[in-house]
Amino acid sequence: QLKRRVDERQAKLTQAKAEYRTALRNLETISDEIHARRRLSAMGPRGRGVGAEDDGTAGDDIANFKMESDGIS
C-alpha cells in the first residue's frame, strides 16, 4: 500500500512538472511576442518622464528670487 501511494505521488509530481514546463514555455512565448511588438512599434523614442516638462529654463536665476516676509520672523 505504501509503495502504491509513493508511485501515485511520483506520477502526480511528474505530471505537475510537465504542466509547469508548459506554463513556463507559454510565458516565454508571450514575453517574446510582447518584446517583438515593442520593437516593431512606431511609438518612437521614449518621452521624458512626468514632471520633466520644461522649456529649457531649468536653471532659472535664483539670485532674482525674493521671499516675501511672513511677518513672524
**Structure confidence by residue, pLDDT tens digits, 6-32:** 999 999 999 999 999 999 999 999 999
Closest CA to 10 of 45, 18, 58: 18
CA distance 22 to 39: 26
**Predicted pLDDT at 45:** 63
Element (H, E) at 51: none
**Predicted pLDDT at 27:** 97
**Structure confidence by residue, pLDDT tens digits, 28-71:** 999 999 998 888 885 666 667 777 666 555 555 666 666 676 66
CA distance 25 to 30: 9
Sign of the Cα torsion 39, 45, 47, 48 reads positive
**Predicted pLDDT at 50:** 73
**Predicted pLDDT at 62:** 65
